[in-house]
Amino acid sequence: MFNYTFHWRPALNALPQMLQGALVTLQIAVLSMVIGIAVGVVLSVFSSSRNKLLYGIYATWVEVARNTPALFQIYMAYFGLGQLGIRLDSFLALLVGITFNNAGYLAETFRGGLRAVPQTQTRAARSLGFNAYEAFTLIVLPQMFRAVFHPMTNQMVWAILMTSLGVVVGLNSDLTGVTQDLNVRTFRTFEYFAIAAVLYYLIAKVVTLGARLIAWRLFRY
C-alpha cells in the first residue's frame, strides 16, 4: 500500500524548535485574550449605551467579527491597514486580527453574562445598604464571571487554533510557521505537520484541563 517511507527521526529532532514555536503560539493566544477581554468588556458597555456613535462601534465590531472569516480579519490587519499607512508585520497583524475576533465574540459573551444575573440580586444587595458600585462588584460581577467562564475558555482554545493562520501572512515563529519552514526545507510535510498537530492537541487539552481545574477551585457553589 505504501510506496512512501516515513522519516520520523529528523522530524523528532526538530522538536525543540517546534516547542519554541509552541511557546510563541501560546504567547500570541494569551496576549490576544487579555487585550480581547479588556476590549470586549468596553464593547459590552457600549452595547447598552444611548450614544449612537458608541453603539455603532459596538454593533459594527461585533457583526464584522462574527460574520467574516478570522483569516479575513487578519488580512485586513495585514494588507488593509497597510494601505492606510499602518504597516504591521505578520506577528502584529496576526495579533491584531485575533484580538479583533476575540473582542467581538467576548463582547457578546459578557452581554449574555450580565443578563444571566437576575435583577433581583441587585435589588437584594441594595436593600442591605450597598451602593450601586458595591452591589455590582460584590454581587453581580462574581456571578457574571461564572456564567462567562466556560465560553471564555472556549474562546481561548479558538484563539490558539487561530494563531495557526499567521503562516498565511508569512509568520514563521509560531508553531505552524516553524513547521512550515521545516517543511519547505525538507518536504517531509506529513511528518512535521503530524507532530505539530499532536502539539496543538496537547496545548488545547492543557488549557481546557487547566480551566476546568480553576473553575473547580473557584466555583464551589
Partner 1 sequence: MIEIENVEKSFGALKVLDGVSLTVNKGEVVSIIGGSGSGKSTLLMCINGLEPIQGGRILVDGTEVHARGTDLNRLRRKIGIVFQQWNAFPHLTVLENVTLAPRKVLKKSREEADAIARRQLEHVGLGDKFGSFPGKLSGGQQQRMAIARALAMAPEYMLFDEVTSALDPQLVGEVLDTMRLLAREGMTMILVTHEMGFAREVSDRVAFFKSGKIHEIGSPEQLFGNPQLPDTRAFLNSVLK
Partner 2 sequence: MFHTAVSANDLWFLAQGAGWTLLITLIAMVGGTVLGVVFGVTRAVLPGWTTLPLGFLLDIFRSVPLLIQLILANSFIPILGLRATPFAVSCVVLALYTSAYCAEIVRGGVLAVPQTTRRAARSLGLTWWQDMTEIVYPMALRVMLPSWIGLTLGVMKDTALVGWIGVIELLKSSQILITRMQNEPLFILMIAGLIYFLISFPISRLGARLERRFREND
**Residues at the site binding partner 1, with contacts judged by CB under 8 A:** 120-121, 123-131, 134, 138-139, 142-143, 146, 219-221
Q: Interaction with partner 2 in 88-147: which residues (CB under 8 A)? A: none
Grid-cell match 460584590, residue found = 138
Measured from the CB atom, the residue of 65 and 135 that comes closer to partner 2 is: 65
Yes or no: say if 200 and 157 are a contact pair by the CB < 8 Å rule. Answer: no
**DSSP label at 171?**
-
Given 125, 135, 140, 167, the residue binding partner 2 (CB under 8 A)? 167
Measured from the CB atom, the residue of 1 and 128 that comes closer to partner 2 is: 1
Residue 129 binding target from partner 2, partner 1, none, CB below 5 to 8 Å by type: partner 1
Measured from the CB atom, the residue of 80 and 112 that comes closer to partner 1 is: 112
State yes or no: residue 201 binds partner 2 (CB under 8 A).
yes
Measured from the CB atom, the residue of 2 and 221 that comes closer to partner 2 is: 2
d(CA 195, CA 206): 16
Q: Where are the alpha helices (DSSP H) in the chain?
A: 8-13, 15-46, 52-67, 70-75, 81-83, 90-116, 119-127, 132-134, 141-163, 175-186, 189-218
Cell numbers representing residue 45 in the block: 458597555
